[in-house]
Amino acid sequence: MKTQNHYKRIFRKLTLLAFLPAMIGLVSCSENIDESNLYTFTGETIEDYLSSREDQFSSFNYILTRVGYDKILSAYGMYTCFAPTNEAVKAYIEELYNDEEADLPHNGMTSNSLEGLTDSLCNDIALFHLANTEVMAVDMTNGMTINTMLGRDINAAIDSITGNTVLNAYSTITSMDNELENGVLHVVDQVIRRSNRLVAGELAQHEDFKLFTQALTVTGIADELSATLKEGIEEITNNTAKWYVPEECKVGFTVFAESDEVLREHGINNIDDLAAYANQVYGSCADAGSGWYDYYRNHNIKVDQGSDYTNPNNCLNMFVRYHILKFRASYDKLLYSFNEVSKVSLVEYYETMLPFTLMKIIRVSGKRYLNRWVTNTSLTDRIAEMGTASIQTVMRNGIEIKNTNIQALNGYIHPITDMLVYDYDVPHGVLNERLRFDDTSFLGEMMSNSHRGATYAEIKAWNGGISGSEGSLSGDYIRYPSNYFDNMRVYNGNNTHVMYLSGSNNGWSNYQGDEFNCMGAYDFAFRLPPVPDGTYELRMGYTANGNRGMVQFYLGRSSSLVSMKALDIPLDMRRVPVDNPDGSPDTGSGTGWCLYTKTDDMGVETDANMHNLGWMRGPLYYTLGKGGGTLARANREDLRRIIAKMQFEQGEYWLRFKTVLPDNTTTEFHLDYIEFCPENVYNNNQYVEDMY
């Protein structure tokens, strides 16, 4: 519950907006703080709270003052401060100074004292204990990832025994929700820990993962997990709208790892045992006729069962690669909960480092599982509901992901409870369903840089307090350099304005609330998520409105323009179906849409008619905005366009979007999500595809 003081501070925040321009850039340039611009509060700020309690916080306040952040916490804003006590800082200094594994002797400290800290250490400690937005105790009750001003995560969790809130599995909050004029302060009993080791190095510190660490090393994959930043990010030269533009692109990884105990349960006690197990699983995966790894089989790639583990086609190497995602994600960010209806399970599909393979992550009873397989999950035997239990049988419970969050400098390691493999049942069972991909899910940089699902308050803080405006778009959005994403190609440079709209404060009818919105004379392509061999409908979800333009779709086996072939006629995204009062289908838009609740069969017949025209309603899965409301299926602007119906091979495909109105540079192309729906779902001879 929000306190009275909280609402007082919100009111003061509104009245202080006039002071905002003087504060822009303050956080990003602490060395050049203009103290004359700092607004003086009549109540207690975070800095007031710290400085007036020297017996508790003089050491932390000394660190803040050394790098100028005492001024920031005296000023306008809405911050979260995790304040370690004097005893906590003293213990941390002792540990830093006596760290025998540090790259520099004593971590560069000049003495075993507060004054012996370097400016760099003070800066990192200060920023890792501050967030640009307000995080209250209620926000942390179910566990959350907090993005700090250092750009590193804090993972909050509730101790199952004590009920206390613990940060990064080490620091306990001893006093919560001290609400102040410019934010909230939580007292912690230990300096919050952060690892500066890379993923493989961090895993090596954990005694219960010796064998998986050895597998990373002998395959050479550990060396591939060393990147932290992408080089050569292009500059945007026409950002007159003053959108937030990220200045760097972090690279990250997520590793799912079996502990030594889990491996022993499968008779695996050393690297030779693990290699033998991998040979057993992957040895025949590319065999003609019986093989299930379609990409390898289609390209006649020979699987190696020998001892050259560095060979990417070696079975042990393949085993390890299927455990790794090329982005960093904490436990709570593996799945995104925003505006889904209560009866559905959260599901994501991510590409692994084993070429062109997917893994499935699903939430069941609050837990996360890998590659759970339930038959007929996209089919139903009754109107407007999911299928009954009689047609949906659990074939595999899935592998539980433990909520541990082992955090490294460039990623996360998540312990798992069973053996993770890409075997026959994954492409033929686990992934044999309608596959829906939010646009951000195949752009790993979105997760690695904490952009996916970012709040408007976070984006505005990153942008120095500025909100951008361009055409009909106005707000706290992100604009990306043209080469920011590995799985995106922009063919005309800065003429394509690539925008991310998180939707966190809006009631848009978008899957997971967010969307990509490209403006200008756009011409770009996305690399599609790889699916197993089969015949699929490729669908695009979007919302139609008068600000959209017209787009021509192209599909190619590479990002080269010469490989692209046009699909269908251009789509006019400005055409919005009409909701006829009598419930009859709209013919003017060409979609055949009508409000399904006005029909006798909840839209079953008109679904079929729309499908024949190449259209589908939005799904029952989500609502307009967060917290319930109009279902996407009932929103006439929420549409799915069937782009292609064809045979796909497991491998590389690029979907290109090119405006056919190049002179109208204010149109907003909208992409929300992509669906691959297999033929046995959309053309099933016994059941029908469900409405979710």
What does the pLDDT look like over 114-156, one tens digit per residue? 999 999 999 999 999 999 999 999 999 888 999 999 999 999 9
Mean pLDDT of 567-591: 94
Q: For residue 664, what pLDDT is reported?
A: 85
Whether the predicted pLDDT of 309 surpasses 90: yes
Rounded to 5 degrees, φ, ψ at 4 are -60, -40
Paired with 406 in beta bridges are: 413
Whether the predicted pLDDT of 17 surpasses 70: no
Q: For residue 42, what pLDDT is reported?
A: 52
Amino acid of residue 164: N
Q: For residue 553, what pLDDT is reported?
A: 97
**Please, how many CA atoms are within 13 Å of residue 175, restricted to the half-sphere of its CB?**
10
- Give the separation between CA 348 and CA 336, rounded to whole angstroms: 8
Judged by DSSP in three states, 183 sits in: strand
pLDDT band with cut points at 50, 70 and 90 for residue 389: confident
597-600 long-range contacts, CB within 8 A, separation 24+:
597/634
Whether the predicted pLDDT of 275 surpasses 60: yes
Containing 167, the helix (H) or strand (E) segment is strand 165-167
| H helical segments located in 166-304 | 199-204, 210-218, 221-224, 260-265, 271-282, 294-298
Angle, CA of 30, 36 and 41, to the nearest 5°: 90
Q: For residue 343, what pLDDT is reported?
A: 87
Mean pLDDT of 421-437: 98
Paired with 314 in beta bridges are: 304
Q: Which residues contact 613 (CB under 8 A, 6 or more apart)?
A: 590, 591, 592
* Nearest Cα to Cα of residue 214 among 265, 275, 264, 266: 275
Amino acid of residue 613: L
Q: For residue 627, what pLDDT is reported?
A: 79
CA distances from 168 to 57, 193, 415, 650, 692 (A): 21, 7, 16, 39, 36
- Give the separation between CA 579 and CA 361, rounded to whole angstroms: 37
Q: For residue 610, what pLDDT is reported?
A: 97
Mean pLDDT score of the chain = 92
Following CA atoms 227, 232, 233, 239 in sequence, which dihedral angle do they give, to the nearest 10 degrees? Answer: 160
Exposed / middle / buried, residue 542 (Cβ in 10 Å: 0-12, 13-18, 19+): buried
| H helical segments located in 558-689 | 604-612, 679-682
For 340-363, the pLDDT digits (tens) are 998 899 999 999 999 999 999 999
For 469-493, the pLDDT digits (tens) are 987 788 899 999 999 999 999 999 8
Q: For residue 599, what pLDDT is reported?
A: 95
- Give the separation between CA 71 and CA 68, rounded to whole angstroms: 6
Whether the predicted pLDDT of 23 surpasses 90: no
For 442-475, the pLDDT digits (tens) are 999 999 999 999 999 899 999 988 999 987 788 8
- Assigned token pair, 142: 């179910």
Per-residue exposure over 293-314, b if at least 16 CB sit within 10 Å of its own CB, e if not: bbbbbeeeeebbbeeebebbbb
- Give the separation between CA 432 and CA 583, rounded to whole angstroms: 35
**DSSP letter, residue 16:** T
Q: For residue 30, what pLDDT is reported?
A: 37
